[in-house]
Structure 1
Amino acid sequence: MAVDYTIRDGVAVITLDNPPVNGLGHSTRLGIVEGIERANDDATVAAIVITGAGKAFGGADITEFNTPKATQEPILVTVIKVLEQSAKPVIAAVHSVAMGGGLELALGAHYRVASKGAQIALPEVKLGLLPGAGGTQRLPRVVGLETALNMIVTGTPVMSEKLAQTALFDEMADGDLLDAAIAFAKRVAANGAPYPNARDRKIEHPNAAGFIQFARNSVAAIAKNFPAPHKCIDAIERGVLEGFERGIALERECFVALVQTPESRALRHAFFGERAAAKIADVPSSTPTRKIEQIGVVGAGTMGGGIAMNFVNAGLPVVLLETKQDALDRGLATIHRNYEAQVKKGKLAQEQVEARMALIRPTLDYADLKQADFIVEAVFEELGVKEQVFRKLDEVAKPGAILASNTSTLDLNKIAAFTQRPGDVVGTHFFSPANVMKLLEVVRGEKTEKDVFATVMQLAKKIRKTAVVSGVCDGFIGNRMIEQYIRQALFMLEEGALPAQIDRAIEKFGFAMGPFRMSDLAGNDIGWAIRKWRYREQPDLHYSRVADRLCETGRFGQKTGAGWYDYQPGKRDAQPSKLVDDMIVAYSREQGIERRKIGDEEIVERLVLSLVNEGAKILEEGIAAKASESIWSI
């Protein structure tokens, strides 16, 4: 049984014990109902406390997604009704993490006591769903319409102390949570019934209808292609304007409809794929890992600086190496500027900026990397340059240090061979901007030791990256797929489309960013360098040269203020460029290509299928072990 039942000082304690997040699977739900009934039948029990074992209060049981057990009674809606109808007061002792179904369960209790630092969220929207057990109705009634709507539509966690003054929590525990919850339970039991239910509270807002319309307009602008946020607002609105019962009925109707949408199926597939990506067949979770306390980063450019930020954000000190003082100064200034931008947006406090900058030790001397446990190079993408760096690292790095390359295309086995310790060499391909992009390709060389691999996968989790395992090939997974995607986009430019149309079509389809906005963000010079290498090594491979024409004018993207689009100083908004559009049309004319009208459907089909086809080849070749690894690389 995934639930433990004990009695402490006249209070029944129901403890969810279904690691890792105390998922509300069928056995857990059944155990809760049986525990409530048992406590109500016991004359010696005055009240009931529900809490979670370990590092979570509770959450959804993802192992039951798409299985018959997910709809087997008692479903969560039934469990919550049992809590609400309990003759004895039910108190949820919330700690660590209460998300999704875990938060909905807590909302069904009569009272809630919380510890500080607990993460509170209804993240179902991230799976293309909405809360299906009353979350859209009960949360607005306890935290207010505006706070609840923001939480539900974004799925973003909120710390418990930020909700301390709302009716979500009746008490914040200073000491031991369970002790505080039991003491609270005894007090409310002594006061006697009736006990409050969140469903009975009124939603008070000075202009509820107006605020909901404002929220609807905002969602239309940022999530127009995803139905779940819109359905969340629909359900909340119904509950606000027509009451709890009408609201929860629509919530259920919307939930059932959303489960069948292609958007939700795709998001759930990606969700499971992300978790599967961390599991490596021949590297079990019990594999010993190396201690990582000191990081070294070679190269303070755009990529190196972004990589350094990942580690200091996680509290790991970084020695940042450059060959020239002006490059080092420029890199540090860029890092500081990136942090200051977060301060302006309210995402960081000024003292946090100073603390993170203090974790970076700049240097021009390789000897300062001697104590580093993990060293990653982020230097120019040329094998000769990588050779110089790795031969030097082999000389100075201590035994057992992991040497990582951020190469995006080069042969990791050749790089490892530049050292006397190829087993310690691994690829860690960050994507630009490295401090923002979630994906990290972990490239496994022929001689990479298993403990090195296990350590890097663990480290990726610490710096909050989604790690995808790749074998060694030209471009690995992500860049290899993206190269064909970009190649197809360039063909369409010379055939008749323009950058804004192509980006708009694929973004409408659901991509966060089109190929040309993406290229401007990453830097068009990077792709240019790769193409020039392709022209030498694979002269029979056909490419459109229109992107080369762009780069020859120095339009490398956002970093130069001009790329496929124009950019105003200090802004990232892509403005279509007449100069570029004219250049494309002229290029087609020079090549003798008669331009034609290309529809959005053709654009989407050609771009998506280029990814699909290359992904299939990568799987067939064994570069990726699972299809989900190709998904997470695009």
Structure 2
Amino acid sequence: MAVTRRKQGMYGYVELTNPPVNAINRDMRQGLLDAVKWAEDEGLERVILSGAGRAFAAGADAKEFDGPPLEPHLPDVLNAIETSHVHWVAAIHGPALGGGAEIVLACRYRVAHPKALIGFPEVTLGVVPGAGGTQRLPRLVGMEQALALIPTGKPVSGVAAKQIGLVHEVDEDPVAFAEMTNSEWLGMAVPVGELNTGEAAPELFAAARATADQKMRGQIAPQRAIDLLELSMTADLAAGMAEERAAFLELRTQDQARALRHAFFAERGAKAPDWLTATPKDVASVAVVGGGTMGAAIAYAMLNAGLSVVLLETDADGVARARDNVEKIVAASLKRGLISEEGAADRRARLTLSHDYSDAGQVDLAIEAAFESMDVKKQIFAKLEAAVQAGAVLATNTSYLDVNEIASALQAPSRLVGLHFFAPAHIMKLLEIVRGDATSDEALATGFALAKTLRKIPVLAGVCDGFIGNRILARYREAADTVFMDGSTPWEVDEAMVEFGYAMGPYEAQDLSGLDIAHANRRRQDATRDPNRRYIPIADRMVELGKLGRKTGAGWYRYPGGNGKVEDPIVADLAIEEAHFAKITRTDYSADQIRHRLLLAMINEAAAILGEGIAQSAADIDLVTMSGYGFPRWRGGLMHYADTLGAKEVLAGLEALCAEDPLVWAPSQVVKDCAAKDIRFADWTPA
């Protein structure tokens, strides 16, 4: 049963029981409605409502997301709870999210564990609250707080909920507190729906809309949520809830909601493949080789997870630089309130910095995070293999290099796995786990276990140049450079992709990372580059001019005084010059044409990656592109977006572009297969 109930004296105890997180389904809604009648028939004084296990109720049951709404509907259930003659008391521990938080609002009295989590994340799934959240919350906590919670989807702790008036009390044992609550207090508690929202200045809504537009650009639901909150000031509860319900039902069937649900399920399903049954090594201590920006951030991610870390550098000066790099991250975390001074001291105590590899002799895992040079990495792994214990797993953080070649330098290549972190490594959620030809199942399983420890999203990748993400990124940049040379500017390309939903376009992003990084990678590929493939030399000329991006004050854009970017006519002239040298007649691309080319280029490359087995599924490619490369989450990731276009349309677009360059635009076999079979990329499987 999704709802259990029992009577003890004049008290009724109702418990939500749909493990693991008490998701709200039809059975639970019916059980709650039945419990309302039961409590009234029994003449109870109060009902104490709680959740079984580790949650109160963490939102709607995902199994019902794509089906039609089933009676009884949650708004009707909650209205019954709120208007009941029996006082319902919410005893909240763990998450009370979405519909779970709306249940809380319908109760007469609310008590929460200090670490409970109460929130309305509906906008992150492309919808708005559908059972009174936008109408009851401002009546309870005021409009300013409601605008801080609902359009952002951010939850609050039990302690914070007490501070803003969302719950009456906080206690370590909410059920026991609910039992002891004075009956007079319950009688004095007014149903939330009978409270007044009050007045809020137009500037408050304007600020909320600006924040939503900035942080959730292109998304419909946050703005609709703000509309509904504003409505609560003038509409009575019934009228406001009717408007809210209509908006909820409309939004849940739209593309954005489908895409965000897909992203949600893909992230929830990100785990080790079923065939990987090996027991991972228990990792309590980690060595990180390289104390630069990336290595220091990887080390800090390990410290955040409670692990002990040995950070290795080449000499004393390198150790000092590594210490400074870690301390910068500690200082930033302190400034943002992410850690306390005690937390900072604890992290420092678990960190050892050294240039002596023997200090890493007892670690369980060693991660190389050095410069992208095959020779350098082979030298490091020779030292690591000699220094660490025989059972330790070895990992490389390489972004592009051949994991198999790195492993060949080891006496035991089965120990090596690729762990490709994304910058900044202590913040970015994605972790590409690269399986080399010799990688043991234990090493691979250890990578997935580490991802869980670090709370990262793991994606299994095969060995190729750039793995999944950087290989797609390279094709994205190649297509952008071709458009730039043949008739556009970096800022026009960037603007087109920002309009699509990226936080920044490919050129501004490259200015952030540094043009020298991509330049070094191109030089590494010179010997193996197909001579028949068109090469765009503009970026090489940028490096020759010293225009390396933000760090030099100028890249594709200029950054005068270290402030915001400005367009640079010199850069635009470079494309005109190179087009002249190549005898190309430039054209004027529209924003739609730019997007068409760049997106088809990425989709085709991703389909090839899928066909080669580098990625295990289209959903894995979606995770990589969303979590590591800025593809708009509300479009569901690259391959989900491709499925909204349809394989036939993708194929037709590629075939049309083949007229200008049959080598670069040749459709992958996976695109052809999906078009011929009229199936989604998500449903494609190897023959």
My pick for the range that moved more, 309-318 or 119-128, is 309-318
Partner residue, 1:153: 151
Give the secondary-structure state (helix, strand or coil) at the position aligned to 1:240.
coil
* Long gaps (5+) in structure 1: none
Paired residue secondary structure (2:432): strand
Correspondence list, 1:290-309, <5 A: 290-309=281-300
1: distance between equivalents of 2:9 and 2:424?
Answer: 55
1:229 Cα deviation from its structure 2 partner: 1.2
Q: Distance in 1 between matches of 2:359 and 2:566?
A: 44
Deviation at 1:342, TM superposition (A): 4.5
Q: Which residue of 1 aligns with 2:22?
A: 22
> Normalised by the size of structure 2, how large is the TM-score?
0.86
Work out the CA distance in 1 between the residues paired with 2:175 and 2:186.
21
Residue in structure 1 matched with residue 197 of structure 2 by the alignment: 203
Deviation of 1:310 after TM superposition, in Å, equals 1.5
Deviation at 1:569, TM superposition (A): 5.8
The letter for the 2-side match of 1:183 is M
- Whole-Å separation in 1 of the counterparts to 2:417 and 2:482: 35
Partners of 1:570 and 1:314 in 2: CA distance: 34
After TM superposition, the structure 1 = structure 2 runs for residues 243-392 of structure 1, keeping only pairs within 5 Å, are: 243-283=236-276, 288-345=279-336, 347-349=338-340, 352-392=343-383
**Structure 1 CA distance for aligned equivalents of residues 479 and 427 of structure 2:** 26
- CA–CA separation in structure 2 for the residues paired with 1:139 and 1:353: 37
Q: Report the Cα offset of residue 351 of structure 1.
A: 5.1
From 227, 232, 241, the counterpart of 2:234: 241
Aligned to 2:52: 53
8 Å contact 2:115–2:158 — kept in the other structure?
Answer: yes
Per the TM alignment, residue 162 of structure 1 is displaced from its structure 2 partner at its CA by 1.5
SS in 2 for 1:437: coil
CA distance in 1, matches of 2:186, 2:326: 58
User: Where does residue 468 of structure 2 map in the other structure?
Assistant: 477
Q: Do the aligned partners of residues 256 and 482 (structure 1) sit closer, same or farther apart at CA in structure 2, a change above 3 Å counting?
A: same
- Structure 1 residues 3 and 495: alpha-carbon distance in aligned structure 2, compared to 1, 3 A threshold: same
Equivalent residues of 1:433, 1:522 under 8 A apart: no
The Cα shift of 1:316 comes to 2.3
The question of whether the paired residues in 1 share the 8 Å contact of 2:138 and 2:232 is answered with: no
Which one-letter code corresponds to 1:238 in the other structure? L
Q: CA deviation at 1:17?
A: 2.2
Instruction: Map 1:125-204 to 2 at 5 A.
Output: 125-173=123-171, 175-184=172-181, 187-188=182-183, 193=187, 196-204=190-198
Map of 1:564 onto structure 2: 556
1:18 is matched by which residue type in structure 2?
A: N
Task: Determine what percentage of the aligned residue pairs are the same residue.
Answer: 38
In structure 2, give the amino acid aligned to 1:542.
Answer: R
Mapped partners of 1:556, 1:138: distance in 2: 53
Conserved? CA contact 2:145–2:164, under 8 Å: no
- CA RMSD, Structure 1 to Structure 2 (Å): 2.3
SS in 2 for 1:440: strand
Question: How many residues in Structure 1 have an aligned counterpart in Structure 2?
Answer: 624
Instruction: Show the counterpart of 1:32.
Output: 32
**What secondary structure is seen at the aligned counterpart in 2 of 1:165?**
helix
Cα offset, 1:220, TM superposition: 3.4
Partner of 2:673: none
> Could you tell me how far 1:476 is from its partner in structure 2?
1.0
What is the 5 A alignment of 1:424-573? 424-540=415-531, 541-567=533-559, 573=564
TM-score normalised over the length of structure 1? 0.93
Conserved? CA contact 2:45–2:86, under 8 Å: yes
Structure 1 counterpart SS, 2:509: helix
- Of the structure 1 ranges 47-56 and 357-366, higher mean CA displacement relative to structure 2 is found in 357-366
Structure 1 residues 502 and 349, CA, compared in 2 at 3 Å: closer, same or farther?
farther
- 1-side partners of 2:312 and 2:250: how far apart? 54
- Residue 297 of structure 1 and its aligned partner are, at CA, apart by 0.8
Report the Cα distance in structure 1 between the residues aligned to 2:217 and 2:477, rounded to whole angstroms. 25
| Superposed displacement of residue 354, structure 1 | 4.6
Query: Which amino acid in the other structure matches residue 620 of structure 2?
Result: E
Worse-superposed segment, 623-632 or 338-347: 338-347
**Residues of 1 paired with 2:95 and 2:55: CA distance?**
5
Quick one: structure 1 residues 428 and 177, their matched pair in 2 at CA, closer, same or farther if it must change by over 3 Å? same
Q: Distance in 2 between matches of 1:221 and 1:340?
A: 26
Q: Distance in 2 between matches of 1:347 and 1:547?
A: 39
Deviation digits for residues 486-507 of structure 1 (CA, Å, limit 9, x no counterpart): 1100111111211111111111
Structure 2 regions of 5+ residues with no counterpart? 626-687
Measured against aligned partners, the alpha-carbon deviations of 1:414-440 in whole angstroms (never above 9, x if no partner) come to 323332333332111112232332211
**For residue 121 of structure 1, what is the aligned residue in structure 2?**
119
Deviations 1:319-373 (A, max 9, x none): 1111133333223323323443454455555554454344332111111111222
What is the DSSP-based 3-state SS (H/G/I as helix, E as strand, rest coil) of the residue aligned with 1:429? strand
* Structure 2 equivalent of residue 13 of structure 1: 13
- Determine if contact 1:440/1:467 at 8 Å carries over to the other structure: yes
Equivalent residue letter for 2:173: D
Instruction: Indicate how the Cα distance of structure 1 residues 157 and 374 shifts in structure 2: closer, same or farther if over 3 A, else same.
Output: farther
With 83-92 and 532-541 compared, the bigger mean Cα shift is at 532-541
Q: Identify if the C-alpha distance between structure 1 residues 574 and 17 changes in structure 2 by more than 3 Å, giving closer, same or farther.
A: farther
**Aligned partners of 1:143 and 1:163 also within 8 Å:** no
Hey, what's the Cα distance between the residues in 1 that align with 2:196 and 2:50? 27
Structure 2: distance between partners of 1:343 and 1:428: 28
Q: Which residue does the alignment assign to 1:106?
A: 104
Q: Call closer, same or farther: CA 1:336–1:57 in 2, change over 3 Å.
A: same
- Greater CA drift, 258-267 or 101-110: 258-267
